[in-house]
Structure 1
C-alpha cells in the first residue's frame, strides 16, 4: 500500500512528542489529551450538530478532519489524534452499530455463538473502512507538519467486550463467561480481531499516521492470568504484526490498558514504544517498574480539570515531579477528558506542562 499522500506533506515542525516516545531529550514535556476533540468544546458540538449524528461525524472525512484540528487551534498541543471511534472494526464487520441517546453504543447483532464468530472476517480497509483512511490522509495534509498525527484502534479484548455483550457494561460478564466456558471460541474471536486491528493500523500507517495507539479500555476487568491470556496476548500479536510491516514498523506504538498497572512489566515486553498509564499508580513507581524500557504517557486524573486553575497547576507539577527529569514522558490524562470540563482549564494544563517541563530541564 503506497504512502504517496503522506510523502507530499510538509516536514514536521514539532517533533517533541515523537522524540519523547523514543526516550530522547526534549526541550520540555510534550502533552496531548485523550478525547481532546470532544463535547467539552463548543465548536465540536456545533460540527456534530451539522453532521446530524455521531456516526455522521465520524464517517465523514471532512468533518473528522475539522474536529481533529479544533483543539489545536485553542491549545499548544504536541500531537493530534484522529477523530474516530474504537468500534469502527466491529461496525465494518456488519454488526449493526448505533448510538442511542444517553445509552452509548449498541450492536443489533451481537456475537455469541461459534456460527456468529465463523461469519466474521477481517474488514476491507479500502472498502468498509476507507472513510477512516481518507480522514487520516486529509488530516495529515491539513496539519501541514504542525504536529504528529496519532492513529488508533480499540484492543482485541475491548472490541470483543462490546461485540459479545452487544452494548456497554460495567463488567462485560457475557464475554468473561465465554472465556471460562468456551475458551477456544473466545480465542478464535480474539485472533480474528487481532488480525483485523493489525490490518487497520497498518492501513492508517500507510495513509499517514505517525504514531499508533491501542486502547485496551476494559483490560483492567481481567484478573492477572486472564489478562495475559485474553488481552495482552492479542495486543502483543498486533504489535508483532506491525513490526513485520515495512511502513508501520517505523511508527511508535502506545499501549493503554486502563486499570492494568499491575501488568506494566509484561506490557513493556510486548515490543511497544510506550505505555499509557492511568491515575491509579504513581508515575514514578511506573517509571521504575518499566526500568527505562519504554516511554510512559499519563497520568493526571481527568477530574482534576474540573478543579480551579491553581489546583490544576499543582497537580500537573506533582505528576511531572513524580516522573522526574528523565526522558520518555508524554503528559496526558489517565483517561479521556469529560464533557463538563471548561476549555480554559485545558489551556491552563497545557501551558503549565510546557512551562514546568522547561523548569525541570533547566535543573
Structure 2
C-alpha cells in the first residue's frame, strides 16, 4: 500500500526530528515514509527518494548513528531475511536513491526497532535528514551483489534549508530539529562531512571501497603502476581534510522545471546523460545569484546544460549572443542555443551581464 500524496523531499511539516510512531502505518499516515512494505520511499511517477527505513531487514546494513551504510532494495527472502538474488541500481527504488545523490536531495530516515543500537526500543522514530553521500555495488554477506548507499546525516545548518519554520510557530530551530541528542550512546556529530567520511573509512565495521584502487600486478609480481617518467608518483593512501561549504539559497523547483522542459538535454550540445538514477543535467544561472552579481533565481535566468558546458559557461569558456547563438571564448561559433521560444523566454539583460562579466563585448 502506498500514499497517493506527492512525494515530499526534506522535512514534512509537523514531524520534527525525534517524533515516535507506534507502527509503519502511523508513520505513513503522517507522511514521513509513505510506503508500508518497502524500505525505500519512492514512486513510479516521481523522481528521487523521500525516505528510507532501516529496520534490521538486510544483513548488510551498518548503522553508526550519524552515518548509515544502507543496503538497497531487492533479492531478499522475506521468510529468512537472507539475500537470495542480486540487486541492481536500475531497480526503481535503488535508482531513486541514485537520483537523490545526483541532485543533492536529502532523504528522511525512519528507524525501526531492532535495527541497531541507534534504533528505538519499540515502534519507529524519525531521525532527520541524510545525504546520499555515495553509492556502489559489491558482493554482500550472502554472496549476492547488493547496492550500497552511504547515508550521512545533515547538520542542523544544512537541514535548515529543508525546513519551513513557518510550520512551527513559536519554536526555534534547535527545538524542531532536536539533533537526536537524547539517543543513548550516540556520538556527537563531527565538524564536517569530510571528517565523517574519514572516520567511516577508518572504522573496522565499514566495508567501504578503498580510497585508491589496488595496483595491478604483472606476471612477475611487480607493480605495473609505479609511476611514469616525468609524472608525479602520487600518494598510495591520500588523507582527507575538513572543509565548510556555504550554499546559496535557491528554488530547486526552477531548476527542475527548466531541466524537465528540455528532457535533461543540454541546450548547447543536445547530449542527454543517462545514469542508473535516470537522466542527469544541471541548471545553470546566466547571471550568477548572490552578491555581488545578485542574479534572480528565475526561469528567465536559467539554462539546462551538461556538466561540461555548465563549467565552460560559468568560467567564461562560452558566451551567448542576443540572437541566442553560442560562441566559444576565442570567437569560434558553436551553434544556436536550443530554446523553447514559447515557454522559456531568456532575459537579454542577463545574457549581456554574462558577456560583460567574462570580457565579451
- Which structure has the larger Rg over C-alpha atoms? 2
Superposition TM-score, scaled by structure 1 size: 0.28
The alignment's TM-score, normalised by the length of structure 2, stands at 0.28
Q: Which structure shows the higher helix fraction? A: 1
Whose RCO is larger (CA < 8 A, sep 6+)? 1
